[in-house]
Structure 1
Amino acid sequence: MEAAAALESWQEASRRRRRSAATRPRRREAAAAAARAPGAQPEVDGGVVLRRIQEAREDLLISDFWSSALGESDVAPGSVPEETPVTGSCRLKCVCYGVGNFATCVIARNQLAFLLLFLEKCQIPRSHCWVYDPLFSQLEIAVLSTLGVAVLRENEEGKRSVHGEPTVFYMLHCGTALYNNLLWRNWSIDALSKMVIMGNSFRGLEERLLTRILHKHYPYVAKILKGREELAFPQTSRYTDVFNDTSIHWFPVQKLTQLSTDTWAFREEPDYQDCEGLEIIRNKTEDPSAADLNPL
């Protein structure tokens, strides 16, 4: 449960629990449209982008949102094991999907700045963080490489195994299919208990989607609802569009073992053949040689 312990360390300054009402997430398509709107910032050189990321990081660090995330949010007593806080020497990893075009979109840039701060707070080396978005430009890939994170070059559609190691998945405002794919790839008590997901509130997904749609098209999200713990991000006016409807999810062994045997017997890979409004960019390549620029 090292991933959960890392988050406990991140939130340990206070014991007050804060819950915010979920709002419909700002989808990445809307963010991309905003970036293309009149008056949007044109893509610039890498040095300017790096400076803007640093400015976003500094603004976030002194914001009410960051102090609230550190000091006012906490999990319910006993929901996260009391373990030694994770240090930089641990094997904790981070995978980021769908952060968006941060060179031109302020929302995406703030989400990237938060990711960098989170890595520092949990003492996760940037080399242990893998990032992917099918919309990345070559400039953005170069900037991410300069920042020291590993850039994935294959669209995994979220189907990445934790390989038995504690892993934080940072995937804000992503399509439901991406979460469903991630759960499918790691559909076992051992793998799920090593995973933390920072992304769209599963509680919000359950409330917004019709039950039959959730179970038909996103069965792994539906099946895991009783096996997860969820903590909502704090909400502040400045970062409403950046972190709305965002929660931290983790999957305690004691909850997972209470799920029925039938829950684990179903292992069919999702295909979404007749799913309308699928919010995911599919992998169109069939190149078996495709691999990470920085392999695990």
Structure 2
Amino acid sequence: MAAGGWRAARRRRRRGREEEEEEEEEEEGAVLRRLREARADLLSSGFWAASAGVVRAPLSGSAEPPARCVCYGLGRFSGCPVARAQLAFLLLLLEELGVPPGRCSLFDPAFSAREAAALGHLGLRLLPENEEGKHDVEGSATLFYMVHCGKALYNNLLWRNWSAGALARMVIVGNSFKGIEERLLSRILERDYSYIAKVLKGTEEVALPAHPRYLDTFNDTSVHWFPLQKLKELSPEVWDFTEEPTYQDCEDLEIIRREERAGGHGPAAAAES
């Protein structure tokens, strides 16, 4: 009788696991369905058509077509319509620029297991750890998709690739550098985000078009690239200082540090939204 009871318990556990797997598949399917709807909305609204020329602007000059993509700070796209629209835009962007999904890597500490599974279903890859934005282009033309990320992520990315040759291989879709310059006191910009401050004169920037349906989704978003000729015109002193940013005096640091995530401290997102 005891043995029979254990057998029944095992069957119940098996059924429970099967039910959980079915529920997970249904939830993942629902996430993907909502993502397809977000893509259709972008196309039907005309926003993507208006944006396509902007995202190709760097390629009309001397910028090398991106061979891969890195995305930071996307957020909880399973439940957040803004994050979902941003992911749908990213997928259209990859198609437009001819970057295979398998060459696109993402990181956000907020991703759930269900969202990670959905990204895998789309052929996208997850970065294994929090890089704090310090991703080396490693000689490959790279698109960085960083909509509404904190200023420190952009600053760290620039620091990690602080040479004319590396910066010329980058395209950044994210918060307007001009807007950052306008909103911050110059002494704060130069003290806390010195690499953004130093690269401004070597940057080309085109804003995404405004659209009433996507004012909160892509507000203050621009495409940035760094023409080699403009970078070479910067003074030699610009390149001399290459110290890693520490943000010791920064009062409002919009980034999740590696040790914060490991220790379970801080909010579970690297982005502002």
Tell me the TM-score range normalised by the shorter chain. 0.7 to 0.9
Q: Does 1:281 align with 2:256?
A: yes
Q: Which range is displaced more, 62-71 or 172-181?
A: 62-71
Shift of 1:153: 2.4
> 1:112 and 1:70 mapped to 2: Cα distance?
15
Higher relative contact order, chain-length normalized (CA < 8 Å, sep 6+)? 1
Letter in 2 for 1:123: G
1:158 is matched with which residue?
Answer: 133
Q: Does 1:261 align with 2:243?
A: no
Aligned residues: 237
Structure with the largest fraction of helix: 2
Q: Does 1:225 align with 2:200?
A: yes
Letter in 1 for 2:157: L
Q: Does 1:111 align with 2:65?
A: no
Shift of 1:160: 0.4
Shift of 1:64: 2.0
Q: Does 1:208 align with 2:189?
A: no
Moved over 3 A (4+): 71-76
2:222 is matched with which residue?
Answer: 247
Q: Normalization by structure 2: what TM-score? A: 0.82
Shift of 1:80: 1.6
2:45 is matched with which residue?
Answer: 63
1:172 is matched with which residue?
Answer: 147
- Structure 2 vs 1, CA of residues 148 and 224 (structure 1 numbering), >3 Å: closer, same or farther? same
> 1:269 and 1:74 mapped to 2: Cα distance?
32
Shift of 1:285: 7.3
2:156 is matched with which residue?
Answer: 181
2:5 is matched with which residue?
Answer: none
Quick check: 1:69–1:233 contact (8 Å CA) kept in 2? yes
Quick check: 1:73–1:234 contact (8 Å CA) kept in 2? no
Q: Does 1:81 align with 2:62?
A: yes
> 1:115 and 1:177 mapped to 2: Cα distance?
22
Unaligned runs of 5+ in 2: 1-25, 263-273
2:19 is matched with which residue?
Answer: none
- Structure 2 vs 1, CA of residues 80 and 159 (structure 1 numbering), >3 Å: closer, same or farther? same
Shift of 1:81: 2.5
Quick check: 1:92–1:167 contact (8 Å CA) kept in 2? yes
Quick check: 1:193–1:252 contact (8 Å CA) kept in 2? yes
Letter in 1 for 2:35: I
1:34 is matched with which residue?
Answer: none
The 3-state SS of whatever aligns with 2:217 is: helix
Q: Deviations over 1:54-94 (max 9, x none)?
A: 11011112222112113578859x982388xx5xxxx7110
1:45 is matched with which residue?
Answer: 27
- Structure 2 vs 1, CA of residues 74 and 116 (structure 1 numbering), >3 Å: closer, same or farther? closer
Q: Deviations over 1:175-210 (max 9, x none)?
A: 000000000000001000000000000000000011
> 2:61 and 2:251 mapped to 1: Cα distance?
37
The 3-state SS of whatever aligns with 2:32 is: helix
1:102 corresponds, among 73, 77, 86, to: 77
Letter in 1 for 2:62: P
> 2:141 and 2:99 mapped to 1: Cα distance?
11
Q: Which range is displaced more, 61-70 or 155-164?
A: 61-70
- Structure 2 vs 1, CA of residues 237 and 95 (structure 1 numbering), >3 Å: closer, same or farther? same
Quick check: 1:131–1:149 contact (8 Å CA) kept in 2? yes
Structure (1 or 2) with the larger CA radius of gyration: 2
User: What does residue range 187-198 of structure 1 map to in structure 2 within 5 Å?
Assistant: 187-198=162-173
- Structure 2 vs 1, CA of residues 121 and 274 (structure 1 numbering), >3 Å: closer, same or farther? same
Q: Deviations over 1:105-126 (max 9, x none)?
A: 0000000000001111111100
Letter in 1 for 2:150: G
What is the aligned-residue identity percentage? Answer: 57
Shift of 1:274: 2.0
> 1:197 and 1:73 mapped to 2: Cα distance?
10
